[in-house]
Structures are given as structure tokens and as C-alpha cells.
Structure 1
Amino acid sequence: MNWILLIIAGLFEVGFATCLGKAKEATGNSALFWMIGFFVCLSISMFLLYRATLTLPIGTAYAVWTGIGAVGTVLVGVFIFKEPATFWRIFFLTTLIGSIAGLKFVSN
């Protein structure tokens, strides 16, 4: 169950990074709404990370949480913000995913 909470926490990390990127592009009330989304996603992500670390090792949980956030944020950047998907970005993204999976497999 705590691995599921950790994955959801990582997805909310992607959410707060996305909201931050959208707030940067927005003006007026729209920027305010994106910032509210940022703080809501941030709060949920941190709470779920805390809950997951009650039984998972903190080093593994934090690395997986940040990895999910990093991978998800790069994918959002490529597909939503039209950032370049170069060979090296995809290569290192793939190695990051492999590292996250490896941490999960070697943890209790």
C-alpha cells in the first residue's frame, strides 16, 4: 500500500511542477489559480510522501518520489510545453526509469 501512496505522491509532484510552469506563462487570475493548484499538489505530495516513509526506507522513498517527479515532469515538458525530445534526454530518462525500478526491486 505504501508503494502506491509513493507513486501517487510522485504524480502529485508532477502536478505541482506542471502548475508552476503554467503559472509562469499565465497572467492575472489565471496565474493565481495555477499557483493555488501548485500549493494544493505540493501539500498532497508531501503528505503522501510522509505517509509512505512511515514504513519504507527514507532514502529509497525519496529517490523514487523524486524520480517519478523528474520523469513525469520531463514528459509533461515534452508533450505539453513542447520542449525538445533529443536522443540524450530520452537516453538519460530511460536510465533514470531503470534506476527507479532497481531501487524498488532491492528494497524490502
Structure 2
Amino acid sequence: MKIINQLGIIMGFWIAGDFLSRLIASIIQIPSAIMGMVLFAIALTIGIIKEHQVKEISDLLLNNISFFFVPASVGILAISGMTANTMFKVIAITIVSTLLTMFVTMWVTHALIKRKKKRI
């Protein structure tokens, strides 16, 4: 029951984001999911919602986040009609960019740790 209540809190912010998004649609177009996340972040920041009130459902959703990307990825591949050659290029770019990101992150972290040790 606790998880259902927590999911209700998150869905409530999504619905509020949808309402607000429709309300300001004539001024600016913001997707309702983004608006809901902004409202949720503001509620967490100012203390309307406490972290413990949504911890279990948040952990569940974050631990299974890759599952939510599978339908979107398959849909993109099906709609785009990628050939094997194009698919190889996409996979190669993904691997290279991931390794590059990891290397840059490692280098920056190492530099920051070194800099912090010099201060002490």
C-alpha cells in the first residue's frame, strides 16, 4: 500500500504538471512531464514533500530505468528503418562516446582530488 501511495504522489505531480502545462500553453510550450518534474523538484526543495515519502517507489523506478527505455529504443529503430550499416555506425559512436565520457570524467575527478590534496 505504501508504494501505491508514493506512486500516487508522483502521479499527482505529473497531473499537476499537465494542468499547468495546458494553462500556460498559449504563452510557452513545456511538456507536462517536464513541468511535473519541476513542480516535484520544487516541492522537495522547499520541504512540501520529504524524501522518505517517495523513497521506495523512487528506488524501484531508478533501479529499473533501463526497462523504460527499451520500448522507445525499439520504436525508434522500427520507425527509422535503420540498415545494418547504419546500426553499426550508431553502436560504434555510442561506444566511443561512452568511453570518451568515462575518460574525461576520470581525468577531471583525478585533477580535482589532486587539487584538493594540495590545499590540505
Normalised TM-score (structure 1): 0.34
Q: Of the two structures, which has the highest relative contact order with CA contacts closer than 8 Å and spacing of 6 or more?
A: 1
Q: Mark the structure with the bigger radius of gyration.
A: 2
